[in-house]
Amino acid sequence: MRNRIELFDCRSYLHQEADVKTIGDDFMLFESFKMSPVLNRPFKVDTLTTIICIEGECHGKIDLISYHLESSSMTILMPNTILEYESVSSDFKGLFLIMSVHFLESLNIGEWVSSYANVRDNPYVKFNREALDAIVNYYRMCEGLLLVPDHPYRMEALKNLTRAFFYGAGYYFHDLPKEKSREHYLLERFLKAVKLHYREERSVEFYANELSLTSKYMSSKIKESCGKTASELIDEYIILEAKELLRHSNMNVQQISDYLNFPSQSFFGKYFKRIVGLSPKAYKNGIEQ
């Protein structure tokens, strides 16, 4: 039994769906690709994924928070991020970079680790024209390297270019304007706590205590921020995890119930059916709503 979620294998998928330039499974580049029904559900990315929007726009959710990617902007998705595409405009043009965890670790950029938390909390940044040109130039230089497979120093050159990219991009993520509303900031803190404790805790009271707030105040501000209650967001996160496990792991319903710390398989089944409209077994077997 695998005691963890089976992440969406975007690299295998992209080899089939996009014109990909790659070094093994560690580093992949591709430009806009055709959306597939496979991507019409929330999934966890198992890589660091960078999306640079050149033209058009894309709407979606990153860790349950809505984002709008527009021209001259970029998002960096850290490994284990939950991504959900909602719509992509017909004129969308983007550049995509996929890096494995193994490749990231090989860069030895310990100083950049301090930016991880900021990137997770603020995965989206808007660029001016000069900054966008610099990011696109990095992409094109990497692309040039990948087109020369017999280059004797291809991997080292790629790593050095990527180190420069991270240090350069880090400036923009550190320099993000601090203009979020109190409600949005509270929503981010709440979702971060849910991500840490969702397997053990499902009560609104627990998360209110974690944030040193009353349940009533926290719930009202979260509702103002995103239109959903705190309880709905907790349920949504747990159901996303349960769906991934049901469809993309070899765990049975009882094992998933245990993994998510439900008191019994029966309790888990009723909880899942109340929210999804299907039993866990029916969902696992591919019966759609």
Mean per-residue pLDDT over the chain, rounded: 82
Q: Average of pLDDT values for 197-215? A: 92
Range with lowest mean pLDDT among 23-32, 35-44, 54-63, 171-180: 171-180
Supply the range of the domain harboring residue 135: 10-174
Strand partners, 49: 77, 98
240-281 pLDDT, tens per residue? Answer: 889 888 877 788 999 999 999 999 999 999 999 999 999 999
pLDDT class for 14, splitting at 50, 70, 90? low
Q: Does 46 reside within a domain?
A: yes
Lowest mean pLDDT among 70-84, 98-112, 131-145, 187-201: 98-112
| 78-117 residues labelled b (16+ CB within 10 A) or e (exposed) | beebbbbbeebeeebebbbbbbbeebbeeeebeebeebee
Q: What are the residues whose beta carbons fall under 8 Å from the beta carbon of 244, sequence distance 6 or more?
A: 5, 6, 7, 8, 43, 44
What is the pLDDT confidence band of residue 188, given thresholds at 50, 70 and 90? confident
Same domain, residue pair 132 and 195: no
Share of residues in the chain with pLDDT > 70 (%): 82
Q: Is residue 289 included in any domain, yes or no? A: no
pLDDT, residue 6, reads 38
pLDDT for the residue numbered 2: 36
pLDDT value of position 9: 57
Rounded Cα gap, residues 51 and 70, in angstroms: 11
Residues 29, 130, single domain; the answer is: yes
Of residues 247 and 204, more confidence is placed in 204
In a domain, 2, yes or no: no
Instruction: Tell me the residue type at 221.
Output: K
What confidence category does residue 15 fall into, taking pLDDT thresholds of 50, 70 and 90?
low
**Higher per-residue confidence, 136 vs 287:** 136
Asked whether residue 182 carries a pLDDT value surpassing 80, the answer given is: no
Lowest-confidence pick of 16-20, 68-72, 143-147, 251-255: 16-20
Residues 76/50, Cβ–Cβ less than 8 Å: yes
**pLDDT for 235 beyond 50:** yes
Q: What is the CATH number of the domain that holds 237?
A: 1.10.10.60
Summarised one tens digit per residue, pLDDT across range 209-230 is 999 999 999 999 888 888 889 9
Q: Which of 137, 152, 174 is the last residue of a domain?
A: 174
Q: What is the pLDDT of residues 112-171, one digit of tens each?
A: 555 555 677 778 888 888 888 989 999 999 999 999 989 899 999 999 999 888 877 766
Residues 17 and 160 both lie in one domain:
yes
Own/partner contacts of 27-30, CB < 8 Å, gap of 24 or more, are 27/97, 27/98, 27/99, 27/100, 27/103, 27/142, 27/146, 27/158, 28/96, 28/97, 28/98, 28/99, 29/95, 29/96, 29/97, 29/98, 29/139, 29/142, 29/143, 29/146, 30/96
Residue 71 maps to a domain? yes
In a domain, 1, yes or no: no
Report how many domains make up the chain: 2
The answer on 165 and 188 residing in a single domain is: no
Share of the chain above pLDDT 90, in %: 35
Residue 267 buriedness (CB in 10 A; 0-12 / 13-18 / 19+):
exposed
